[in-house]
Homo-oligomer: A and B are copies of this chain.
């Protein structure tokens, strides 16, 4: 007795069960079949170890249960956590995740888009940096942190409120002179609102503050120079810093240590992201925490409901503050 090497098809199952393919298909798709047939089909499926060929099904139904996740990199903690949560959320909905990494390269972004189309994926969740990459209008798309097109929905944290919270918190903790530090891509995105919210809150409170913004700088050197120039004998003329990201906050903290400035005694520091550090399981600095799991969940839901014609253009999720040693509480 020789076992065929080709995987069993629905036809094989039908033959084995003594019913027609139609019946097998209906059973497989959860459509009512007579109890007797059901049992025979079930037995046949088990016996042959049958599994639906999703390519054949996809060809027929134009549904592939497959979504693309486009990310610039994976090695920054926020992105790897986001990827983890998005795959989990997609999985829960019965979708698979095709991972695409662009390295911030516009060319790569374009390649991804055409791949998505060619592979007839059901949707895209994208965090892209090139404002000019064009997405196939026939494919549902949800972006994270960056608005792509007016008709697409973008999911992000409430960056604006997060910026406000950071300023309010630093002031409530007694800071007299605030600093905002931001480094990153110069393409505008929802993330910019962190600074805007911060500045607004400072103005509202009548606080003394300064905004230091570096677009597309390769290094933090300009920040470091500022810190040096505004620190005399280990005493800085500022006492509260809000950084665009935890990463930057931690880098700044190290620099301050080099300058003999103590955190949080001399300067209090708040970052943004709140992704658990892999060594300790908690954020490594006081921070505005993004709800990454909800971000993922929301993006997935928005994607799968993209047909609903009243798709929101922006969905913001609430952030919260967590103290982790770089503020005095």
Q: Which of A91-99, A201-209, A222-230, A298-306 contacts the other chain?
A: A91-99
A75–B64 touching, CB < 8 Å:
no
Q: Which of A40-48, A76-84, A151-159, A313-321 contacts the other chain?
A: A76-84
A250 to B278, CA, bound (A): 11
Chain B nearest CB from A314 CB (Å) reads 27
8 Å CB contacts to B: which residues of A102-149? 114-115, 117-120, 138
B58–A55 touching, CB < 8 Å:
yes
Q: With A7-B138, A118-B54, A279-B247 as given contacts, are A73 and B84 in contact (CB-CB < 8 Å)? A: yes
A52 to B59, CA, bound (A): 12
**Total count of chain A residues near the partner, CB < 8 A:** 46
B residues within 8 A CB of A101? 84, 87-88
A51 in the interface, Cβ–Cβ < 8 Å?
yes
Partner of A77, one of B56, B254, B278: B278
Copies in the complex: 2
B88–A120 touching, CB < 8 Å:
no
A83–B55 touching, CB < 8 Å:
no
- Residue interface mask A266-288, B partner, CB < 8 A = 1: 00000000001011000000000
Chain B nearest CB from A76 CB (Å) reads 6
A23 to B70, CA, bound (A): 34
B residues within 8 A CB of A98? 66, 96-99
8 Å CB contacts to B: which residues of A225-253? 247, 250-251
B residues within 8 A CB of A215? none
Listed from nearest, the 7 A-B pairs whose CB atoms lie closest are A80-B80, A99-B99, A74-B84, A55-B58, A74-B80, A51-B118, A55-B59
Write 22 A-B pairs (CB below 8 A) sorted by A numbering. Answer: A51-B114, A51-B118, A53-B59, A54-B119, A55-B55, A55-B58, A55-B59, A55-B119, A66-B98, A66-B119, A74-B83, A75-B81, A75-B278, A84-B101, A87-B100, A87-B101, A96-B119, A97-B99, A97-B100, A247-B279, A251-B279, A254-B279
